[in-house]
Amino acid sequence: MTYSDSDTTIRKRSGWLIPLGVFVVTAGLSAVVLLAYLAPSAPSFHAQQIAPTAETRPVEIEIHGLKLWIPAHYIEYAGARQGGVQKDVALFALLPDLAGWTPWEAANFSSNAADSPVVYLLIHEDSLNLREDSRFSRIYLSYVSNTQGAPGPFNLTQYAFRDDSGYRNSDLFVGEGKDGPVVIRCDRFSPEVPSPSCQRDLLIGRFVALSYRFKRAHLAKWHDIATRVTQLVDSFKHPPKPQASAQAAAPG
């Protein structure tokens, strides 16, 4: 059997057409994946503008099965005040008694001064589900240089983070609370951080954690803040009492 020149040309072309087609398809799919990865995502919950309210109506929110009834004036963002199932909810309150937002305290709530009285709280899903003592022993102790700690201020034990750790610009303090250790990580004051804060993380439900932060200038009040925050969040776990009837029954 013989083959013409045209047969030879067709065979030569088919040898590189298939790899070329595979390359084009692969390159196109890679471009789509890369674009999807690099393209800006939709604004997250925390990218919203803070929109406080003076309303005190309870907002029913569920986070990983934990139901909460939170007065609206504690909730930072308007979207969260719609209630329902959410991954997290951001709150704020004012020292010393952790009152919710009011118009006459608006300036204090918006302050970022080194001694600002605002306490920020975030109730959120937590896949680690670690108790506070476990978080201290399994995470923080791996990064400190003095695992025994040293006497710190305000009846706290102080731990120094190693210079090669991601926490090197922070200090760690541990105090004794009513239900166990209170573990507080504080930013150090520096020209880059002129208004340092302290943060505590603890479980309040199964796979639900509370993170709250306050200015380091108020570290002396850590025990009182811990007590008041716990009491405040516990109060959110109880549904509001039914409203009493507006009109009492007439005597018989």
Domain ranges for the chain: 45-236
**DSSP conformational letter for 141:** G
Cis peptide, bond prior to residue 117, ω within 30 of zero: no
The string of pLDDT tens digits covering residues 164-217 is 999 999 999 999 998 899 999 999 999 999 999 999 999 999 999 999 999 999
Q: Cα separation of 111 and 106, whole Å?
A: 9
Q: Cα separation of 140 and 183, whole Å?
A: 10
Q: What is the percent of the chain where pLDDT is above 90?
A: 74
Closest CA to 60 of 91, 99, 86, 93: 86
| pLDDT score recorded for residue 179 | 86
Q: Give the SS3 label for residue 239.
A: coil
Backbone angles phi, psi at 63, to 5 degrees: -125, 110
Mean pLDDT across the chain, nearest whole number? 84
More confident residue, 243 or 196: 196
- Tokens representing residue 215 in the block: 């200015």
Query: Is beta strand 58-63 parallel, antiparallel or unpaired with respect to 84-85?
Result: parallel
Q: Cα separation of 85 and 88, whole Å?
A: 9
pTM (2 decimals)?
A: 0.78
Q: Please, which residues bridge with residue 174 across strands?
A: 157, 183
The string of pLDDT tens digits covering residues 33-52 is 333 333 333 333 345 688 99
- Pick from 2-6, 76-80, 227-231: least confident: 2-6
- Angle CA 129–131–137, to nearest 5: 115
Place of tokens 């963002």: 77
| pLDDT score recorded for residue 220 | 98
Q: Cα separation of 149 and 141, whole Å?
A: 10
Q: Report how far apart, in Å, the C-alpha atoms of 169 and of each of 136, 164, 191 are.
A: 17, 10, 12
Cis peptide, bond prior to residue 96, ω within 30 of zero: yes
